[in-house]
Amino acid sequence: MTKSGVSRRGFLTWLTRGGILAWLASVFYPVIRFIMPPESGEANVSQVKLPFTRADIEADAKKAKTFKFGRLLGIIVATETGELKAMAATCTHLDCTVQHRPDLGIIWCSCHNGRYDLDGKNISGPPPRPLEPFVVEEVGADIFVHKEMA
């Protein structure tokens, strides 16, 4: 008994404690898994066709439209030169939705005054990273948006 350094009582104590821990884990594991929502059915898309036309974007008061890009939110803006630029619309600071400010020529987040240029690069305010830029392709009247190839 004394050779192994573990008494019968000590062994049983650890067995009981381990058993209680295992029991607690078996109770709480399903609870924790339950509150983690299942993966969204929507896959990560690589390209979307926008449900509106260039005319719709240019007619908008802010010369911009938001669109759903898979699970992400995107924004497409018409610049002064008539170019269309698209990027992720979720501010990299704290997840607000950004907007186009044609008067300032920037993408602006009203929540904390974060500013990006029209390529999505963060230029002032709290945003730590640029907005992910998307590639815009116009085929006839249709606008397609896809991610940049790595």
Q: Please give the residue ranges that form the binding site for another protein (CB under 8 A).
A: 35-37, 40, 62, 66-68, 71, 73, 93-99, 110-113, 122, 125-128
73 versus 118: smaller Cβ distance to another protein? 73
Q: How far is the CB of 8 from another protein (least distance, A)?
A: 40
Q: How far is the CB of 57 from another protein (least distance, A)?
A: 14
- Rounded Cα distance between 3 and 7, Å, is 10
11 versus 95: smaller Cβ distance to another protein? 95
**Which residue's structure tokens are 């907007």?**
99
10 versus 58: smaller Cβ distance to another protein? 58
Phi, psi for residue 21 in degrees, rounded to 5:
-60, -45
User: Which has the closest alpha carbon to 44: 75, 65, 68?
Assistant: 68
98 versus 136: smaller Cβ distance to another protein? 98
Contact 115, 100 (CB under 8 A): no
11 versus 28: smaller Cβ distance to another protein? 28
Residues 6+ apart with CB under 8 A from 47: 144, 145, 146, 147
User: Which has the closest alpha carbon to 108: 87, 134, 83?
Assistant: 87
Check residue 70 and give left, alpha or beta (phi > 0: left; psi -120 to 50: alpha): left
Q: How far is the CB of 127 from another protein (least distance, A)?
A: 6
Q: How far is the CB of 90 from another protein (least distance, A)?
A: 9
Q: How far is the CB of 141 from another protein (least distance, A)?
A: 21
